[in-house]
Amino acid sequence: MTAPAPTLRAVLWDMDGTLVDTEQYWMAAETPLVESYGGTWSHEQALTLVGLGLHDSARILQDAGVRMHEDAIVDHLTGQVMDQLRELGNPFRPGAQELLVSLRAAGVKTGLVTMSLRRMAETVVSQMPFDAFDVIIAGDDATRPKPFPDPYLQACELLGVSPDEVVAIEDSPNGLRSAIASGATTIGVPLMVSLTGVGAHALWPTLEGRTVADLMALHADHRAKEAR
């Protein structure tokens, strides 16, 4: 007798570039930091940091001439981005907040899985007008950063769900690789960089107009294909 396909019990969200378009804030912090050490920082170089762990990004900035310890670079950039968040608010990507509200109303568990530091993740979450997430796994919580599966597996464990009961939403290749490796059904919603060929189970150009039913249908379809 065939076992029933797992149902959708949780949706896990990346933060930077997926929930909120903070990549612009990061880039605005990176350029003056590099220039303060006499270097130059192009848009193309900034794109290479999208989806990377913060310490990986710090090492790239060191290679660009920033003569600071990795931890100091991470703290500086995080502080700069948090200042912009407090001043300008959360720059939500289209449809993201509305979909989160619908998931909460439907009783689907939600988690935030980000490589940003916890204090920044908590700043974003605290500025949301509703109780958005059951758990947060941040960069300083993860045993290994994306693209390793650890952050998603840690979130699943805290939520009491298995990865085959989860949909993960990401905007970067590294984030998608992490979610795919965990065993979750994955949706790529590109922003700054292309996700073609990374292996997402679906690529959506936007979350605007998307519903809980859309997520459930995608999850069910992917799990049915796996079962075959």
DSSP per position, 201-222: SEE-S--TT--HHHHHHHHHHH
pLDDT for residue 6: 85
pLDDT at position 93 is 97
Which long-range contacts (C-beta less than 8 Å, at least 24 apart) are formed by 93-96? 93/17, 93/18, 93/19, 93/20, 93/21, 93/189, 93/191, 93/206, 93/207, 94/206, 94/207, 94/208, 95/206, 95/207, 95/208, 95/209, 95/210, 96/13, 96/18, 96/19, 96/20, 96/207
Catalogue all structural domains in the chain, each as residue range(s) with its CATH number.
10-21+92-227 (3.40.50.1000), 23-88 (1.10.150.240)
Alpha-carbon distance of 193 to 72, in angstroms, equals 27
Cβ–Cβ under 8 Å, residues 207 and 19: no
pLDDT confidence of residue 1: 40
pLDDT at 158: 98
In this prediction, residue 4 carries a pLDDT of: 65
Residues 59/31, Cβ–Cβ less than 8 Å: no
Phi, psi of 210 (to 5 degrees): -80, 150
Which residues does residue 113 pair with via DSSP β-bridges, in sequence order?
A: 137
- Angle between helix 173-182 and 150-159 (nearest 10): 50
pLDDT tens per residue across all 228 residues of the chain: 455 678 999 999 999 999 999 988 999 999 999 999 999 999 999 999 988 888 999 999 999 999 999 999 999 999 999 999 999 999 999 999 999 999 999 999 999 999 999 999 999 999 999 999 999 999 999 999 999 999 999 999 999 999 999 999 999 999 999 999 999 999 999 998 999 999 999 999 999 999 999 999 999 999 998 887
Instruction: Enter the tokens of residue 5.
Output: 């396909």
